[in-house]
Structure 1
């Protein structure tokens, strides 16, 4: 006979998830999550974030991610930070991302690094920001490597050398070994967007699908989504060309907003901040809502 659900393991839930039996996975994880298992809490949060086996509910996802993060769950700290940051609470998002960055999580390193570089929610420190981004790039995170190339064009050699020296004191790589207890999804792909913000990942359910946002009725309103900030407008234009085919951006256009030597790529309009945030979930990457000018 099958073991009672409450007695089954997180791994059993992963096995069900990988068979696309999402309701069974949820039934296994929920009692474990309610009992304090951080991996089960993280996986349940991912299920709510992706809308698999349960209705898509970012508020519920945040609750479960936070429970896991308070237990020191590294993926939960990162995913929670990215989710909160993307939805406009930058101070709270940066708090969780800093905890993850201090443990060497590459996505968190990238976001904190670009925040430091741009002085976005933290005191500006371009050298330290360069150090964080370079540490992330050294772990093979492609968006960090792209961001580092951008910073190389913006910073003098002497400052870059100071940043590289500082990077040696920053942890590299997650201290948490790969585990079969966490659902895996596609890696977040943060762009450098005043600074690079990133999108949450999952501890990581197998299929790499993004959460499906609620339909957006029309292309009007006072909100946009910001997808990146670049030293060259051509780079912003190239990113828009890569993303413009996404259904959620249909009928909306790019805005290239100059900010000193930086060009910010924004797309809109959207009817509300909630609609813009929902679009960010679908687009992924370093996306967050901004008011239209």
Structure 2
């Protein structure tokens, strides 16, 4: 009976996805809302996407966060990652790192990239370059393009001995995850719908949003990372190109590191919007100095 109930729920969520894909986001939202109210993590995640994108409902990041958190607490990996990124952009680093670590531990590639980058930079978490290399290399192995670029930068600054330890740790994490999944795997059921089918549909068709305006003398910038090599920071800035909407480069010395900041933006909201366009690149608003 539980399996049948899950199948019916998944089919209903799928009906919302079909409406979304057919250009009827209001209908999709109307389908998902009662399902989310009954505890569907997939429906809650999709509603979070709708509120974040402003499709079918007015854009509302507070509502997006609320639905992401509901889905995240239900074990939805994409929601845990999206919630972590949203909290990070809003300056809640402690909350962001908690959710990103949870998703990274479960093998979600975007979370592994962002949390691994934070570990490398010691940004909100204790620096751990071995684990950072392990997580980013796992994300790159799953085909995440920004992770591949980040791994190339790490290869230039992390000694070979540490990289070898990182590779070994990555292999251990994969093996542990495989063993855990095998232990939890149920007896195969006849033609049960794929559990992930409903999870990511809204993200597959995001609406194009123009870059937020860059304000001369604005109060905020966005920070994209901290680097030991200034050239690596400049390379990342150049690679993001038109996605930055003409925002200027600022390199801020910080001890032995160089922080890459871009802007300025008139408000924190404008800076957060700029960060949202760059996901999964680690990014958060900071006051201009």
TM-score, normalised via structure 1 length: 0.80
Match of 1:206 among 204, 220, 241: 204
Q: How does 1:130-209 map to 2 (within 5 A)?
A: 130-171=133-174, 179-184=196-201, 204-209=202-207
In 1, Cα distance between equivalents of 2:162 and 2:258: 22
Cα shift at 1:257: 2.5
Q: 1:242 to 1:168 in 2, by over 3 A?
A: closer
Structure in which a larger fraction of residues adopt helix: 2
1:277 to 262, 272, 279: 272
Query: 2: CA distance between counterparts of 1:220 and 1:140?
Result: 39
2:263 pairs with one of 260, 263, 268: 268
Partner Cα separation in structure 1 for residue 267 and residue 67 of structure 2 = 26
Gaps of 5+ in 2: 1-8, 186-193
1:218 to partner: Cα distance: 3.6
Q: Name the stretch that deviates more: 144-153 or 225-234.
A: 225-234
**What count of residue pairs does the alignment treat as equivalent?**
266
- Alpha-carbon spacing, 1:55–1:99, altered in 2? closer, same or farther (3 Å): same
Deviation digits for residues 186-214 of structure 1, max 9, x if unmatched? xxxxxxxxxxxxxxxxxx4431335678x
Aligned-residue CA RMSD in angstroms?
A: 2.8
The residue aligned with 1:65 is 68
1:11 aligned counterpart, secondary structure: helix
Alpha-carbon distance in 1 for matches of 2:57, 2:221: 29
Structure 1: give runs of 5+ residues left out of the alignment: 1-5, 185-203
Question: How high is the TM-score relative to the length of structure 2?
Answer: 0.81
In 2, distance between residues paired with 1:159 and 1:235? Answer: 19
Provide the residue aligned with 1:46 in structure 2.
Answer: 49
Query: What's the counterpart of residue 216 of structure 2?
Result: 219
SS where residue 46 of structure 2 aligns?
helix
1:260 and 1:160, CA in 2 relative to 1: closer, same or farther beyond 3 A? farther
Q: Which residue of 2 aligns with 1:287?
A: 283
How far does the alpha carbon of each residue in 1:228-249 deviate from its partner, in whole angstroms, 9 at most, with x for none?
Answer: 4445444443443454545x73
For the Cα contact (< 8 Å) 1:46–1:205, is it kept in 2? yes
Alignment-derived partner of residue 38 in structure 2: 35
